[in-house]
Amino acid sequence: MNHRRKGRKLNRNASHRLALFRNLSRSLITHETIRTTTPKAKELRPFIEKLITLAKNAALLTDQAAAEVDAKAKHNLNAQALHLRRQAMAKLGPTHGTGIYAKDGTPETDRQKDTVLKKLFNEIGPRFKTRPGGYTRVLKLQTRRLGDAGEQAIIEFMKDGEPGVQLGAPAPTPQAPALA
């Protein structure tokens, strides 16, 4: 039985799986959309959404600190935001300082000093400040991968102001016909 064992192994040991998710999440933060296999995309989703939640909470704390008048309270809020940034650094691993590159592989000139962590906390986190969750989407592709015919998917961030799945009112239950 496989009770209380969440997640796919993806034919990797634990350290290889963690390295895979770190690399995929760095690529997703850099390019904001990546193509990978469907199982990898589905397993990457909770990993990256936890990072985005850390960045979102840090953005909210920074906004509160900017509005705060008391110096001690401002310091505490900034310290909490710093703690969230350090948690994200630990989750992204030792290469959290990886530079951001354009899609053609050349470093972006105006943002050459930016890193994946800075983009996560300065752009992506504030983008989702009002969103309660569901920061990414997985779109399955019809085409199969050459070589092993693996199912492919695109994982990408939701756009600004794009609504999530809305649950409508439940459909009314049909009445049973009356028996005479």
d(CA 7, CA 42): 9
Per-residue exposure over 100-137, b if at least 16 CB sit within 10 Å of its own CB, e if not? beeeeeeeeeeeeebbbbbbbbebbbbbbeebeeebbb
Q: Which residue has the higher pLDDT, 15 or 164?
A: 15
The dihedral over CA atoms of 74, 79, 81, 87, expressed in degrees to the nearest 10, equals: -170
Number of domains in the chain: 1
What CATH number has the domain bearing residue 75?
A: 3.90.1030.10
Residue range 148-178, pLDDT digits in tens:
999 999 999 998 877 766 666 676 777 777 7
Residue range 54-67, pLDDT digits in tens:
999 999 999 999 99
What is the span of the domain harbouring residue 150?
Answer: 14-157
Let me know if residue 126 belongs to a domain. yes
Q: Do 51 and 91 meet the contact criterion of CB atoms below 8 Å apart?
A: yes
Look at the alpha carbons of 127, 116, 37, 3 in this order and tell me if their dihedral is positive or negative: negative
